[in-house]
Amino acid sequence: MKKLIALTALLISSYSWSMHHEKLDPIFFAIDFNVVAGKEKEAKNFTYKISKKVKKTEPLTIGYEYSFSSDGTKMYLLETYRNNAGAIAHMENFVGSEWEKEFFEYFELKSFSVLGNSNKKLKKALKDYTDDFRTLEGGFHRLHERVKKRLN
């Protein structure tokens, strides 16, 4: 019995380590929206609810940030994922859900750019939302560099 418990603990810790140490190859969703007229307050309230849900259920989501214009009529959403798998997991949770339905009661999509090294599976997952995929070619991000050293 002790061997079974030890083996189970080893498997769980190995699985847990591998899930939290996946390669860092960030994907960013840069999305611009108009807020539906008359729903500015509800839209802001909704962002707190959905952010809490994403934080709780999507461990590969690094950042999920809503920014509103001063008059509340425009919103910019910046989503950051550890890698393609994180972005795909988010889309699988969102598309066809009640969250998606409620989201579009408050927001009208203006533009959606995907930044990073998107794979074919991610592009397929986003086909109904955007065809604007931009590959990282240059630049730096100090925080990502520090995190990448620890993960890889």
CA 34, 106, 104, 56 dihedral sign is positive
pLDDT of residue 10: 40
**pTM (global) more than 0.85:** no
Q: Is the pLDDT of residue 151 over 60?
A: yes
Residue 12 belongs to a domain: no
* pLDDT single digits (tens) 90-115: 999 999 999 999 999 999 999 999 99
Question: How far is Cα 58 from Cα 103, in angstroms, rounded to an integer?
Answer: 18
- What is the span of the domain harbouring residue 117? 24-146
β partners of residue 76: 32, 67
Residue 123 belongs to a domain: yes
Residue 1 belongs to a domain: no
The residue with greater pLDDT, 37 or 2, is 37
pLDDT of residue 96: 96
The residue with greater pLDDT, 25 or 130, is 130
Domain count, the chain: 1
